[in-house]
């Protein structure tokens, strides 16, 4: 990024901050603040360990300093401006989740377009929200488009703010389905035919009142419902599609779902000998892949993490870090809704070393090699990414 580009972006970021007012997070003055300025050096140096007092009025700070990136801490402290974590005196932290397209399975950052990466990421976000809303039942959640390649969720329910790292890791493992190897981990065992007898029979039942056990059960029930409607031949054929289920197993299972449906539906893994368990194991593996939310663990477990400030601009994309109301999430399109108003009305001239395509505001913009006139948001996006420089007007 050359000096002209840097000064241009910094100036326009300032214009933007004059137009908008950035909403502050709760307990602003107990949090640490940090920012990365527009500097000439290539390395990005973060200015941190600032208290709200150091920063002063946020609006004034943003319009005066015009930083490239702005962060605040998930943690709340006695003395947020102190230089070491020890001196800061940690009180509690928001529980923060980060979904980053770069780390998602099935995403190839080299090959996939920005738009398609963000779309994949939004699907992962929806899976995450199922856990946070239905399993964890959190109330105080803020969903944010990061302005870059993903989404953040800030949870501020009082019950989780005091969790330590290890406890947060339990939450991470839960939403990722990490450590679930064998479906028996999700069962209760009842020893039938008498305690202490030789060879007592173990009866395993899925624990179905929420969590992963319930996710396995709902898949079992769906299959049972499907197969039960079929005649024996079709049902057995359908069941044989599952790995490790042969004709004998499929027939046993078919009989179980037709004659003993209640038991199968209740999660009794002995309802068809070993075969129910086999199916349940397959469904567990599927559930982890299909339902798991591949969040970035270190962000959630780091109680001192600095996170992008919602409402600020992302200096690597020129997009706004955008709070998304829960009801607006379905319709939210980051490449439309996170484009700052400030940058939509004008055209500017940029210099791109190669031909490029940019999807923004619902349109595909073709950028030729060399100097071209583009809509400002497209130019800002390219320059912030380091893909183009400002050309003189």
Partner 1 sequence: MDAHHARYPFFESARQAVGEAGVDLVTLIREGHPAVERGRERVQRALVAGTVEQASDQRVDARTEVLSYPIARVLVSLVDAPGAVEKYAASEATTAHERFVEEFERGRQSTLGGDPLTLDAVLREFDLASVVRSDGTDTDPTEYRVAVGTYLDLAPAGDDWRLVTRELADGWVTVTRRELYDLLERAVERRVADGLPLTVPEEIADPLAAVVSEVESALATATYPRSFDRVDPGSFPPCMQALLDRARSDEESLSAAGRFALVSFLGALGMDGEAATTLVGSADESLAYAADRLDGGLYPPPSCSTMQAYDVCIDPDDRCATIDHPLEYYAEALE
Catalytic positions, written as ranges: 98, 100, 296
- Tell whether residue 213 is a contact of partner 1 (CB under 8 A): yes
Residues numbered 138-157 forming contacts with partner 1, rule: CB under 8 A:
138, 157
Q: Which of residues 56 and 211 has its CB atom nearest to partner 1 in the complex?
A: 211
Is residue 203 near partner 1 by the rule CB under 8 A?
A: no
> How many residues make up the chain in this entry?
393
211 is a site residue for partner 1 (CB under 8 A): yes
First to last CA, the chain: 17
Residue 171 is a binding residue for partner 1 (CB under 8 A):
yes
Neighbours of 4 (CB within 10 A): 14
Q: C-beta of 315: minimal distance to partner 1 in Å?
A: 36
Stretch of 34-42, 204-212, 323-331, 332-340 lying at the interface with partner 1 (CB under 8 A): 204-212
Applying CB under 8 A, among 70, 128, 143, 186 the residue interacting with partner 1 is 186
State which of residues 214, 268, 317, 342 lies at the interface with partner 1 (CB under 8 A): 214
* Residue 118 contacts partner 1 per CB under 8 A: no
Query: Does 303 help bind partner 1 (rule: CB under 8 A)?
Result: no
Q: What is the 3-state secondary structure (H, E, C) of 11-69?
A: HHHHHHHHHCCCCCCCCHHHCCEEEECCCCCCCCCCEEEECHHHHCCHHHHHHHHCCCE
Half-sphere exposure of 245 (CA within 13 A, CB side): 26
Return the ∠ at Cα 337 (arms to 347 and 379), rounded to 5°. Answer: 25
Scanning 30-38, 66-74, 80-88, 159-167 for contacts with partner 1 by CB under 8 A, the matching segment is: 159-167
Rounded CA-CA distance 35/64 in Å is: 13
Distance CA 366, CA 236 (A): 54
Residue 280 binds partner 1, judged by CB under 8 A: no
The single residue among 97, 114, 174, 343 that binds partner 1, judged by CB under 8 A, is 174
Q: How far, in Å, CA of 131 to CA of 138, rounded?
A: 9
Q: How far is the CB of 369 from partner 1 (least distance, A)?
A: 51
102: helix, coil or strand? helix
CA distance 223 to 267: 13
285: contact with partner 1 by CB under 8 A: no
Binding flag, residue 226, partner 1 (CB under 8 A):
no
Please compute, for residue 168, the number of CA atoms within 13 A of its CA located in the half-sphere on the CB side.
23
Q: Least distance (Å) from partner 1 to the CB of residue 136?
A: 6
82 DSSP 8-state letter:
S
Q: CB-wise, 214 or 276, nearer to partner 1?
A: 214
Q: Measured between alpha carbons, how far is 375 from 362 in angstroms, rounded to an integer?
A: 13
Measured from the CB atom, the residue of 26 and 386 that comes closer to partner 1 is: 26
Instruction: Tell me how far CA of residue 378 lies from CA of 9, 114, 183, 353, in angstroms.
Output: 12, 13, 50, 15
294 binds partner 1 (CB under 8 A): no
Q: Kindly tell me which of 64 and 286 has the beta carbon lying closer to partner 1.
A: 286
Phi first, then psi, for residue 130 (nearest 5°) are -60, -45
Indicate which single residue of 2, 3, 113, 185 sits in contact with partner 1 (rule: CB under 8 A): 185
125 or 171: whose CB is closer to partner 1?
171
How far is residue 34's CA from residue 46's CA, in Å, rounded to a whole number?
7
Nearer to partner 1, 88 or 168 (CB): 168
The minimum distance between CB 283 and partner 1, in angstroms, equals: 15
List residues binding partner 1 (CB under 8 A). 134-138, 157, 159-160, 162-163, 167, 170-171, 173-174, 177-180, 185-186, 195-196, 207-214
């Amino acid at each position: 990024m050359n000096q002209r580009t840097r000064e241009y972006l910094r100036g326009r970021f300032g214009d933007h901050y004059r137009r908008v007012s950035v909403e502050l997070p709760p307990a602003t003055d107990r949090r640490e603040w940090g920012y990365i300025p527009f500097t000439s050096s290539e390395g990005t140096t973060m200015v941190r360990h600032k208290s709200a007092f150091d920063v002063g009025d946020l609006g004034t700070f943003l319009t005066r300093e015009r930083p490239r990136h702005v962060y605040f801490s998930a943690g709340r402290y006695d003395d947020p401006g102190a230089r070491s974590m020890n001196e800061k005196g940690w009180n509690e932290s928001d529980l923060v989740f980060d979904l980053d397209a770069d780390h998602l399975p099935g995403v190839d950052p080299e090959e996939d377009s920005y738009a398609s990466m963000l779309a994949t990421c939004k699907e992962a976000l929806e899976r995450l929200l199922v856990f946070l809303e239905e399993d964890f039942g959190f109330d105080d959640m803020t969903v944010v488009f990061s302005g870059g390649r993903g989404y953040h969720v800030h949870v501020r329910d009082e019950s989780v703010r005091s969790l330590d790292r290890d406890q947060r890791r339990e939450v991470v493992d839960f939403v990722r389905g990490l450590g679930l190897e064998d479906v028996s981990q999700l069962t209760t065992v009842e020893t039938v035919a008498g305690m202490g007898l030789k060879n007592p029979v173990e009866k395993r039942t899925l624990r179905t009142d929420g969590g992963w056990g319930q996710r396995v059960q709902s898949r079992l029930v769906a299959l049972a419902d499907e197969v039960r409607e079929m005649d024996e031949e079709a049902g057995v054929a359908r069941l044989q599609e599952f790995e490790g289920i042969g004709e004998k197993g499929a027939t046993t299972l078919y009989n179980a779902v037709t004659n003993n449906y209640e038991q199968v539906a209740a999660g009794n893994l002995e309802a068809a000998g070993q075969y129910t368990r086999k199916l349940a194991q397959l469904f567990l593996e599927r559930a982890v892949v299909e339902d798991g939310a591949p969040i970035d663990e270190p962000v959630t477990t780091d109680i001192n993490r600095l996170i992008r400030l919602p409402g600020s601009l992302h200096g690597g994309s020129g997009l706004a870090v955008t709070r998304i109301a829960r009801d607006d999430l379905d319709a939210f399109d980051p490449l439309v809704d996170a484009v700052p108003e400030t940058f939509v009305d004008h055209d500017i001239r940029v210099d791109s070393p190669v031909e490029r395509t940019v999807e923004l505001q619902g349109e595909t913009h073709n950028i030729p090699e060399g100097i071209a006139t583009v809509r400002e948001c497209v130019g800002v996006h390219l320059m912030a990414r380091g893909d183009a420089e400002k050309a003189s007007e």
